[in-house]
Structure 1
């Protein structure tokens, strides 16, 4: 029998979702650095095969500020919102049954080893970033020294900063950024999102207080419409997160449109996740 055809990491999203939803999951190993159970799998369906990540709800560690057993649903909700923006920043993600019960299943993104991608994060000397970079803050680098942590002034990261503000991402670390074939930026690990309280913690503060670009305003306007009562996106999210969280999402989108600027740290919650990478 011929070997299954391997689909590319980013192809037709609907095809990837169908594969993830209906395919047979085979566990290949565990990613032990993660705080929750993260299993590396292959998924095969109708002659196609791909690598994926499976995070069973049963392997989630309780958190004091999020309801138990909800992280997988939040990951899927983040994917749905990402798709609604049209930016495709989150790999195809579904909620499904698996070898260890219900969980999140997400397409594995393989980086392009041959691509000469510019750095997205860096530590630099001095108190101000060079052109093309945005300051995050100072970090201790040992022996009593500090360096300025910066991120690239990159349109892909700026889109992600807007998405994170919308979904109220409480944990945007540098290690959650993946560059796929063709320089496409992906973001992973969205289990701590959609809280009704402001919990935005991110490395992408470089645009804080700056006017939102026209592209972002147009996307937020579409989201505002799509989150109306009875709309498909709102209905879909309502099956994944609570009604209060959907309403808080609406309010965040409306708030961004009203202010017209990237949000600033609230001062009531640590602004940068730890560890940052």
Structure 2
């Protein structure tokens, strides 16, 4: 008989977790690990609750649960933007465990699922591990030679600084930034790619109320997908949206996004499994605020715009 395949979620939840190193530059404890179960092994990231630094605007010891909730919402919307993520016990207690994504062209400053580690060990193989399904192509996609779910993407950098006040074809403007060292300061326009994958992520971030969408949290994979990581500061009941993906602000949502939001609205009803799962991860007030954000996006039919009550762009942006 052929060997039994193992899903990423099963591997992460049930496998033996071994710490191999620490991700440098992260604000909380982020450990690079390997996980092995039933003859299958893979690399992963483990963020123990015990290593979380307190935040003034989030309850202590809840960032790991929020990371898992962000994965659950990404899956419910059908976009697969967040790597498989579970909550489990580990060598340093309960924490978030997320499949390691090997980025093909990580933006400068990336950390978490592809950051620099204090170890020389390479990730273990993933033979026998079921791969997550790629998201389906949006209606009207035209790149027949692109990987599934990557139609209309920019095959190159996702973020850039450009001279002038116009983003150029294939780019969306975010805002102006002061760049350069002492004596060489100049003003440049921060832009991001006009990319269907990033557009989906902008919608997901508005739904989960992401307070920290930086360029280093975007991981382009070799198969044409983009993964997003570091979702600890999400789901706050107050408006906290801070992101580099403001290029579509105020523009109409795509029909694909509206369909995903309608399905999500149904899935957030009181008696649905998704609601039961979220109840284990975030507070009742945060679930109510989540429903309100989804309803507001459906009511306006447009991408979120900065509220003016909270800094719109995270700092540092990478």
Shorter-chain TM-score category?
over 0.9
Residues 121-270 of structure 1 mapped to structure 2, 5 A cutoff: 121-142=159-180, 143-270=184-311
Q: Is the 8 A contact 2:69 2:278 kept in 1?
A: yes
Matched, 1:79 2:71: yes
Which residue in 2 is equivalent to 1:95? 87
Residues 34-73 of structure 1 mapped to structure 2, 5 A cutoff: 34-73=26-65
Distance in 2 (CA, whole Å) between partners of 1:110 and 1:128 is: 33
Distance in 2 (CA, whole Å) between partners of 1:71 and 1:144 is: 37
Distance in 2 (CA, whole Å) between partners of 1:85 and 1:159 is: 10
Matched position secondary structure for 1:102: strand
Q: For residues 18-53 of structure 1, give each alpha carbon's deviation from its aligned partner in whole angstroms, at most 9, with x where no partner exists.
A: 000000000000012000000000000000000000
Matched position secondary structure for 2:68: helix
- Normalising by structure 1, we get a TM-score of 0.93
Distance in 2 (CA, whole Å) between partners of 1:90 and 1:250 is: 20
Instruction: Answer 1 or 2: which has greater helix percent.
Output: 1
Count residues in correspondence.
265
The runs of 5 or more residues in structure 1 that have no matched partner are: 6-11
Q: For residues 208-251 of structure 1, give each alpha carbon's deviation from its aligned partner in whole angstroms, at most 9, with x where no partner exists.
A: 00000000000000000000011011110011000110110000
Distance in 2 (CA, whole Å) between partners of 1:276 and 1:111 is: 19
Matched, 1:106 2:144: no
Matched position secondary structure for 1:97: strand
Q: Is the 8 A contact 2:104 2:219 kept in 1?
A: no
Q: Is the 8 A contact 2:46 2:96 kept in 1?
A: yes
Matched position secondary structure for 1:182: coil
Distance in 1 (CA, whole Å) between partners of 2:213 and 2:179 is: 21
Distance in 2 (CA, whole Å) between partners of 1:71 and 1:220 is: 24
Deviation of residue 82 (structure 1)? 0.3
Q: CA RMSD in A?
A: 1.5
The runs of 5 or more residues in structure 2 that have no matched partner are: 106-153
Which 4+ residue blocks in structure 1 deviate beyond 4 angstroms? none
Deviation of residue 63 (structure 1)? 0.3
Deviation of residue 118 (structure 1)? 1.0
Which residue in 2 is equivalent to 1:119? 157
Distance in 1 (CA, whole Å) between partners of 2:314 and 2:104 is: 27
Which residue in 2 is equivalent to 1:33? 25
